[in-house]
Amino acid sequence: MSSNENNDSAQREINYYKERLKKLTSSYMSLEYRNADLSKDVLQMSEGLKVIAELQNQKAESNMDELLDSLTEQINIRLKMDVTLVLMPDQKGSFIHHPKFIKAFAGYPVQKVKSLSIAIPPDFYDSRRYIICNKGGEDEFTLSLIRDLDIHQFVLSPIIHNQQVFGYFFAGRRSQLLQSGTGILPYHQNILDAMGGVISAVQNQIDRNVILEELVEERTKELKKEKELTEELLLNILPYETTQELKATGYAKAKDYNVVTVLFTDFKNFTQFSAGMPSHELVAEIDFYYRAFDQITAKHSIEKIKTIGDSYMCASGLPVVKERHAQDAIDAALEIRDFVNQVKEERIAMGRPYFEIRIGLHSGPVIAGIVGIKKFAYDIWGDTVNVASRMESCSEAGKVNISNVTYELVKDEYEFDYRGKIEAKNKGVIDMYFVERKKNPSIQTS
């Protein structure tokens, strides 16, 4: 073999090994790049899983807007995205969505994108599908997302809650900055899908809390209403001051009052009047009068004590002590007398039966309070109560009879008819007066 032939053969062999080495080097470098990409993917997947783990610890009290805003930022950083946002419907079940919670690179038209209205095709919305776009849009909807959101490589992943689309994650990268051709990978969508599942769980907790809060609010209103009814019922039985003492301490002490004015009323000939009247009619008649008496005594801040059959008893000057207790009691007595007389005249004109009333008052010390543990009743005790009862029994129909003690307290303000000394059962002889009217109606009472 000639030397030239040997040289050619050697050169071909050298060229072969050079080409071989070049291919091996290229394959090795490609493998290195691939390994680097895989390392990046593994790191991003790990970061995504950390986000999911953090989401699972999210408290039910979370504000969903704050949660989504924080989440878009974490997706953008941990998954190495250039743009991350959430598409939210303008109302539940709407196909029109708006970009919110936008996290993007400097220069991205955030304000412009925020003003957009993205129409989700109904069939795409109903299918709850996702999109991974790396090579440009293959359909009009994908093309519209590229155009409107100004990102060519992205993943659009639905957030499903109660079998409905709650919103969409949109995360994308600028294609000119990608170091390899991998772009958006399926695991990106898988991570976003998992995040959506945890968000749905958090939303369920929020929904349950809202329901519980509504139930608590409703029950609170019911309890408040029940409390108000109880308070109202209690105030119909006991004075306000006594109810407050009962609620504060569980009991109410009896109290001494130096001077109050006790008022009794009684219907004349009630027994004969009621004998021929049906029971329900009789009760209705008494109720008619007593309702009016209640309004009159309340007007003058007089405490109703009790009714015993056709007898009505009240006291002025307790539980809140006041200086003009006697005047207030007499003013109320005159109004009661005038009311009953007016009804009498109306009944006579209609040919209907009517009541006549006797009224008596006396002033002096009493003890007031409640006794027992069942069916609480506010009551007063003392000789003043007995004398006031005698003033009523010694009175006459259509008259207001007072003792000399009460007379001394009010003698300058009313016109009287002195009756003289009259025997009161078990009380001896007492000076008594009929109160006719006020001397000067302009004098104010309290």
Tell me where in the chain the CATH 3.30.450.40 domain(s) lie: 3-208
Q: What is the pLDDT of residue 55?
A: 58
Question: What is the tens place of the pLDDT at every residue in 82-104?
Answer: 999 999 998 888 899 999 999 99
**What pLDDT is recorded for position 445?**
46
Distance between CA 160 and CA 155 in Å, rounded? Answer: 16
Alpha-carbon gap, residue 90 to 112, rounded angstroms:
17
Name the more confident of 278 and 274. 278
pLDDT digits (tens, 9 = 90+) for 360-389: 999 999 998 887 667 677 889 999 999 999
3-state secondary structure of 211: helix
CB 424 within 8 A of CB 430: yes
Please give the pLDDT value at position 201. 79
Q: How far apart are CA 240 and CA 415, in angstroms?
A: 35
**Which of the four pLDDT bands, split at 50, 70 and 90, describes residue 294?**
very high
CA–chain centroid gap for 191, Å, is 40
Assess whether pLDDT exceeds 80 at residue 116.
yes
Q: Compare 144 and 440 and report the one with higher pLDDT.
A: 144
Asked if residue 7 has pLDDT above 70, the reply is: no
CATH architecture, domain defined by 240-438 = 2-Layer Sandwich (3.30)
Per-residue pLDDT, 33: 44
DSSP H helical segments within 238-324, as ranges? Answer: 240-249, 270-275, 279-299
Query: How much is the pLDDT for 50?
Result: 62
For residue 113, what pLDDT is reported?
94
Q: Average pLDDT in the 238-264 region?
A: 79
Task: Write out pLDDT tens, residues 295-319.
Answer: 999 999 999 988 888 899 999 999 8
CATH number for domain 3-208, candidates 3.30.420.40, 3.30.450.40, 2.60.120.10, 3.40.50.2300: 3.30.450.40
Instruction: Say how far apart CA 56 and CA 41 lie, in whole Å.
Output: 23
Residues of the chain with CATH 3.30.70.1230: 240-438
Looking at the chain, the whole-number percentage of residues with pLDDT higher than 90 is 45
Cross-strand pairs, 158: 168
Q: What is the percentage of the chain residues whose pLDDT exceeds 70? A: 78
AA identity, residue 325: H
For the cut 50, the answer to whether the pLDDT of residue 329 exceeds it is yes
